[in-house]
Structure 1
Amino acid sequence: MRVVNQAEQSDGHGEPAIREIAGHRVWPIALGGAALSLRPDLSRTAAVSTINAAIDSGVNLIDTARAYTTVDEEAHNERLIGDVLTARQDGSTVMVATKGGHFRAGPAEWKNDARPAALRADLESSLRALKRETVDLYFLHWPDPDVPFTESVGALSEMRSEGKIRAIGISNVDPALLALARTVTSVDAVENPYSALGGGDDTLLRECERQGIPFLAYSPLRGWTASDASPRLLDLAAHRSVSPQQLLLACLLHRSDTLLPISGAGRPETAVDSASSARLSLSPDELRIIDAVAGGRREPAVEETAAPDAAASPQP
């Protein structure tokens, strides 16, 4: 991943270090669309306002998936994002990442189907919902234990050759699967869980750094709620006049030039707050405070990044 560094201002707020994914310059914080469809308490009006607020704040990468949908409406999240971007005159400048091979099968049930034919059907559905002829970045959502991984990745490579995908990503993988995927085709991005509290697969992150592959981190604030905020974090946030969430997201950006957090939001204010963290520069002392509060980084257990049981696999 190429990082385009900008000069920082003396108050610790400056222009962000813009990332690049497959030649597309992106804001360092992406908007995660999952909650906009999976939370039953959110109205369409709130969802539309949230997406627009994120884009107006500089965000130009939105993450979605076939699996991010309501129980009774197929492709709800992709259609929502497609509608918003179609309505915006500048919507074509926003990079959309979506995923296939994983779908919602019931109120609390998700399944995998990463056969080449299924992935092709998923992609065609995504194109219709997003109202696009090409998907900017298309991920294999989860490795399917019933399908050879190379067959699934090979299907994405074929669809890229056909012009239906610009860039290929793989999600919920480990270093061995990344290496296996790269024997089939070039990989433009990886998407895995990585939190400011507890970290994630640092071995995979370091490998992505070596290979210049962007690492999109989903659930970047997993395990944190406002009620759990430590006095030290709250004091630092008050001193900097920012939210604790901004500090945690900014800490992730400082951790690696390859890492790009995907921050979910259910309100416009939350989307704006998350986007603003890209402008926040942290001193070494501040980073040490945040890391200490967050409990430091750890390597996840194998179960956290391995392919899930198809009958109960989580949607991220």
Structure 2
Amino acid sequence: MADMQKLIAYMGTITVDTVSVPTFVPPQGRKLSLIHSFQTSKLGDGVKIKRGCFIPGDRLLLGEYDDGKLYVCKLDGSQTKLINLDYKPERMSLYDNNRALVSVHNEGIQIIDLTACKPGRKIKVEGICYGITSVNDTIWTNNKAKTLTLVDINGKVLNTIHTTCNPWDICANKEGDIYCTDIDSNKVYVVTSDGTEREIYSSPHLIDPFGVAVDDLGDVYVAGSESDTIHRISSDGRKSGIVLTANDGVIDPTGLSYNNETKELFVINNCSYINIYKAQEQ
């Protein structure tokens, strides 16, 4: 006992502080219900997918993780068609009912013919294209550090906006506002067409944000790849919540896309499986 008392005295005084522990914010708005799920190996042996988008005909356009290949398939991964590219695809965006756009690094933007499932012509854009989104027959891309560039389908530069954030994934709403995840932080920003920029969201539960998508109501979805979470943020940033977690099958999410017509969200998980959720009123 004497030895124990000496040990306690040697250890000194232990102070217990009250620490605030962040808790999940309950989601508001529409509920997401899982309607499809498939392994990317269904597309072919060893296929890994990191990005993609919805395309007409209840189909998906998906980009191979580390190879110059695109895959077109139905929502359950069936009826797969392969499109070979000269370069690795970065991001995808629907342009119209017949064409999709694929950023292909320093080669600019590749147009994809969705009827023939073949590559069309390339749009030459200065710099290195990563994020891409289309609105009102125009195309936004982040082709340089802290820069968003607006071009038309022929590559003519219509606008250039220099930002304080460093855009990674981008997605436009119907009004032409661009929502961006930031390479250098765990924050989400919005940039309007006149160049006004503001932070709209950050959370201790949003770690390493990747994909971003905007739904038909203007709500913004963001994937936290290291936090295994999908966050939903109102367009003004005033309301937010975590709508999907690892308990819903979300693991290392990287790619998001939202279909405004069918009200469906797809999530690419760990480059190896894809979940599609239906947004329904609660």
**TM-score normalised by structure 2 residue count:** 0.32
Please say which structure displays the higher CA radius of gyration.
Answer: 2
Report which of the two has the higher share of strand.
Answer: 2
Report which of the two has the higher share of helix.
Answer: 1
